[in-house]
A and B are shown apart, each in its own frame.
Chain A
Amino acid sequence: MSLKAFHVFFVAIAILMCVSLGVWGVRTESADGSSAPLIFAAVGFAGAIVLGVYGVWMLKKLKRFSYV
């Protein structure tokens, strides 16, 4: 497996992690009533979108590189 293939796998896992952070933030109640979990939710969902866009750009840029 080349670095390209590992990077594609890594970005996919990172997107899942960002979505998880978003879901965690929406479902978690803050102990002190602050809006911190909702901020983390927004950051998580935004991160997932940014990584998705980057993933498409990266696949185009590394088109001629092997997956092996």
Chain B
Amino acid sequence: MSATVIPYDVKPHPLTGMYNGKFGIWLFLASEIMLFGALFSTYVLLRVGAPDGTWPIIGAETTRGDQILNVGLAALNTAFLITSSVTMVLAWANLKMGDFKKGQTMLLVTVALAGAFLVVKYFEYSSKLHHYAVTFDEHFERDGVESRTFKASTDNGDRTIHYLWGHVEETKKDSEGTILGYVFAPDPEPGHEGAEHKKVEIQKSEIARLTTWGPEGSSFLGCYFVITGLHGLHIVGGIVVMLWFVLTGSKMWKSQPDKYANRIECTGLYWHFVDLVWIFLFPVLYLL
């Protein structure tokens, strides 16, 4: 049985001017642009249509995401991804110049930077999923803690919303496990971040809605988790592919070094696209 030979995997195809692998990865990236483009469009439309004071979350003073997101962690992640693009190009360049060891080392550094990005993202997600917004039907005041007020204009007329942001310290339950209420630690008022953290007990019957700052928290947070989650999955995909080449690359390098360098170039094109998506996500979600 003869082995099937895939044509133009090293030399350029006469019609496209590039080897088939590169042509294939560009077609794939075109579909990715449509995917992320649709999500960006969704974000813009939801944001433009959001009533005043509800974006990024009910009670927000401005529409900027930095009120509820951590710009410092995002900037750190941006630095990780930009550096990983540099190491990715250096991996490819070293392989093209015949230095396999340096090329593989750079590929491994790229994997490490991608892993660091995911670790930071874990801490960012975790802080959001452990932060709560509690809404009351009426004004709430107890033990020196007072609900904030937000006046929302809806299609059904004006509505006053009473709310608190903070952390659930303890869940109060009866002997059968039914939730009776929560010990809640509200966030300090803006401008009083250094003040002592208060705690207050809130009965379940007093709460209109209790939600985390997870995807269900607001339209903004829904967009944030969907888009950054999908981007995170692309990072995981890139790590898997790069690790595969780190672990198995030497065999192909010995027999077909040009083909191996081309594969790393295709991986690098994908990786640059993933990094470019983040370069757009950072200002759109965190700064604007």
Contacts and interface: CB of A to CB of B under 8 A. Distances in A.
B36 interface: no
Nearest to A58: B89
B287 A47 contact: no
A24 B66 CA distance: 11
Given A68-B17, A68-B18, A6 B272 contact: yes
Contacts of A28: 66
Nearest to A10: B272
SS of B interface (majority): helix
B93 to A, nearest CB: 6
A64 to B, nearest CB: 9
B190 A14 contact: no
A7 B279 CA distance: 13
Given A31-B190, A47-B79, A21 B86 contact: no
Interface of A: 1-4, 6-7, 10, 13-14, 17, 20-21, 24, 28, 31-33, 36, 40, 43, 47, 51, 54, 58, 61-62, 65, 68
14 contacts: A2-B22, A3-B89, A3-B272, A7-B268, A10-B275, A13-B279, A17-B282, A21-B283, A21-B287, A24-B283, A32-B190, A32-B193, A51-B82, A58-B86
